[in-house]
Structure 1
């Protein structure tokens, strides 16, 4: 297997995303791709897979390719079984082809090389074992195994796990994965890690999961700009090695920029002095060779201009300051509140699916979040983490139990499935317009104090240029950043965050984790992110696997 991308650039009508990408992936290479949201990570995977036509540069592939994207839109009526059958069809066809070739083989005049090549392909793909592999992958990833279930009735996470299981079972020569751990619990991540470490072909992996980069990446490709404007390949394995390498590169870039700026200031000063020599005040009295002196001054000016122009041609660009999260100063309470009274409380909550089965059932349990309180919700897929957060937020109807919300409490909620993905928050409007509409809606409901409005442009989550574009044109990660901004808009007393690291860049994940630890507001987080859980290990924990 071999994949080679050369001088690959890509631009959408609104903005460029990739510039001069060069990469090479062969058997055994597991390339982690990182970069800020909107830097073109998902676009790069589609170009490598051939789903997008190249604009400049080229992509050469030798071998089969399998891509699992973040966004999975299924045709109405298609079932889990249909997807499994499509996965197995090619493998079964290959096994049948080998059987026919073996039965029809002429042992006197047949071409053994052709038969051997076919046999090698079947052995490489382990085609005879495909049914067992699909069933194992579905089970280990916690995916739906009911073959009659319609895919369009499943959640985004459930659909992703089914698709990922089928792709892993296919054993393609090149595996392209976009944020594969977003919808996996610990056992699912462990299975995926095991599969990637032993993958016989090549892997290109877009992920914010720092632990996964440490565990599987043989190299890291950073799409963020470098000193020459091109992406950078960090050849040492591991996330920490990448961070050290990037920090050193930025230090060199910044140092060169400082030197260039100092030199530019000196040359501008010299040119200004030369221009002063052309002024009437500088010129000597009549009869003292004024033309000769003036000509000499013009020569100095031209020389200074040439030096400035030369410097401009050779100078590096200003190191683009990465977006830095500027987390607002959120309140713990409003004036006059009793600090001993919880902001929100749940007693013996039970939430049921339409068929009456329990999505969350905690008899005899009291969940109370005090001002400035902390709660970390953990547990495998299917134990009800998202449902528990929805019950706390008041968006899930209780079949039993009670929820009490303190008067005047402002809630900031980030759900696992993004609001801007389905039109919520005004996906067709610009970020500024959607943010203003959300503010007016909160104000009409009495949930916004105009004196505590948090300006979206001040958060460091999105640039002004990105906020001026329609939300539907933003990347998945940029839309996720906007959802975080919406949750902070009205300076909430309580943040309820469901898988907050999903789709975010690794730099923002680090900054957000630190902000959640330091904020005065109360925070409830449900997450599979192993590094975030380790960082928040001193918080009270609700483990739904033991409930």
Structure 2
């Protein structure tokens, strides 16, 4: 066990944030902290890191265990470049490497006892250098930066010129490379595209330490964690499984507790009726019996009533007007900025009632494509045609169209003056605004709450085509469930951009993968997309293995993109040559590292035979130069 909490309590004045928080984390275990926005998850992390103190309970961290913490908003004010900032993780290794080079220069001019002493120092430093992967730290540094979405030309960018999200990614990269015994990650997938999130999943699954994660990314949690700690109504409940198991078990537990509560309440009522009846007899024996029953009832361990879930109305939303069957036709769209091509050959069709997700890495132009469809950005070429009776409702990430001076109710009522109070309340209830909540000012709402108001406004409009840009950003897990339910029951057409794979999996019927050279259409949800991508990769690998002398064009999923087969063949051949060269380099690196290690052993075994030691040392120097050259070529090929 590396970390444990028992009955942790935290309050600010009379406002209790956490109470009865109890759980433990084993070494190498991957666990999640979940709960609605405002449940106290980040407060718990601040207690665990010592940023704030608990008001009660116990907290244990294994002696000498190192802890790394990723907060949501990182501020790194530095003149250093990204690469220089990352090198700070390896200060000890870099200093050791410098010391080794200095010792090598000194040993070339020594002999006898002086050389023997230096050789002992050298062996100690060399052991530390090898134990801490000194030969590969630059390769690991580049690999982590690229995995988190930084390109080679980003490495020399100054830290003080980065956005907040980019600084957070740099800090995450530093944490991953520093390898603390336990990682505390607060929303680590924020600011990452799907490719970077998948890379992070693979990294964390094989991470040798423990990991504790706060995240609203349900797909991410499903693939990593084996334990979920839910904070609800200030208390914690532990579920031994991934997120999907937690959600199913939570419903089962709630039903069981509700039944147990109802049965006990029925029994309590029966006993109270019996006691009243016995007392009504007004006899000494009956009164004693009543008192005996009252004592037993007083000692009864009461079953708590399950905490009430927020109301979730299931509402089927019918657009004001039905569109024609052909909703959108896009043909050969292209876009460039300043001579830099963003994408080209983008062609697709959207039919009535389609639920379409647009996915792709950051920078591929998803939001640009949206703005082109909305005629906010001109096309460089191509055709956009909307069908008959198509009315668009657009949701952006910033909810810029909300009036901060109004209440929620006023925002809806002023936008749609013909709606009755009952109609407005019903719609707001569908998005979890009930009772006096509808009179909250917009200015006092969280990002997730503003998002729900914006979605309610869009769905009340006459729009029959919803275009949503990252609609799940800022939403907690419960709010995402509400949105998923609303979209699945929506009878109009939906096109959205999202990095939320769980959300895509639950709502998408088609996926458009945007690439610089067009779009690829997958007729299914995210699991289907992954299955087809894997199938395509297997087919390509099998064909390459069967015909290594030929370059066989990979089978494309159904797509509207025009394919240049000759170019594809050339590209595949180049990729195979690259893969073969990388494999040969990795084998050579492994052999050279083994030879260097053997040289160290041979030098240690030389004793006072300094002539022999100098020969081995000279050979080792050549091996190290070769290793540096191999690593340099390997890095260049992997860039």
Quickly name the TM-score band, shorter chain normalised. 0.7 to 0.9
- Structure showing the higher helix proportion among its residues: 2
TM-score, normalised on structure 1?
A: 0.73
Residue 209 in structure 1 maps to residue 217 in structure 2: yes
Gaps in structure 2 of 5+ consecutive residues: 107-113, 519-639
RCO comparison, higher one (Cα < 8 Å, 6+) = 1
Greater CA drift, 193-202 or 163-172 = 163-172
Shift of 1:540: 5.9
User: In 1, Cα distance between the equivalents of 2:438 and 2:10?
Assistant: 21
| Pairing 1:177-216 to 2, within 5 Å after superposition | 177-216=185-224
Work out whether 1:541 is the aligned partner of 2:512: yes
What's the counterpart of residue 457 of structure 2?
489
Q: CA deviation at 1:413?
A: 0.9
- Per-residue deviation, 1:425: 4.6
Equivalent in 343, 360, 363 of residue 382 of structure 1: 363
Q: Structure 1, unaligned stretches of length 5 or more?
A: 283-292
What is aligned with 1:91?
90
Residue in structure 2 matched with residue 286 of structure 1 by the alignment = none
Using the alignment, how far apart are the partners of 1:410 and 1:537 within structure 2? 19
Q: Post-superposition shift, 1:327?
A: 5.0
**Aligned length in residues:** 496
Q: Deviations over 1:157-176 (max 9, x none)?
A: 54443333232222222212
Matches within 5 A, 1:7-18: 7-12=7-12, 15-18=15-18
Shift, 1:377, TM fit: 0.7
Give the corresponding residue for 2:170: 162
Distance 1:7 1:133, change over 3 A: same
Match of 1:397 among 358, 362, 377: 377
CA RMSD of aligned residues (A): 4.5
Moved more, 513-522 or 12-21: 12-21
Deviation at 1:356, TM superposition (A): 6.7
Shift in Å, 1:203: 0.7
From the superposition, tell whether residues 520 and 37 of structure 1 become closer, same or farther in structure 2 (CA, over 3 Å): same
Over 3 Å counting, the alpha-carbon distance change for 1:523 and 1:413 in structure 2 is same
- Cα deviation for residue 305 of structure 1 reads 6.4
Q: CA deviation at 1:487?
A: 1.8
Provide the rounded CA distance (Å) in 1 between the counterparts of 2:297 and 2:372. 64
SS at 1:4 equivalent: strand
The answer to whether the aligner puts 1:67 opposite 2:69 as a matched pair is yes
Distance in structure 1 (CA, Å) of the matches to 2:239 and 2:503? 24
* 1:333 to 2:311 alignment: no
Q: List aligned pairs for 1:317-466, cutoff 5 A.
A: 317-334=304-321, 339=324, 342=327, 357=340, 361-362=343-344, 365=347, 372-392=353-373, 396-398=376-378, 400=380, 409=391, 411-415=393-397, 418-419=398-399, 425=402, 433-436=406-409, 438-439=411-412, 442=415, 449-451=418-420, 453=424, 458-461=429-432
Query: 2:29 corresponds to which residue?
Result: 29
Deviation per CA, 1:76-102, whole angstroms, max 9, x where unpaired?
A: xx56x4454344324214542686699
Q: 1:488 offset after TM fit, Å?
A: 1.2
SS of match in other structure, 2:73: coil
Q: Report the equivalent of 1:522.
A: 493
Measure the CA separation in 1 of the matches of 2:298 and 2:440. Answer: 35
Structure 1 distance, partners of 2:160, 2:486, is: 36
The answer to whether the Cα contact below 8 Å between 2:221 and 2:243 also exists between their aligned partners in 1 is yes
Mapped contact 2:83–2:156 kept (Cα < 8 A):
no
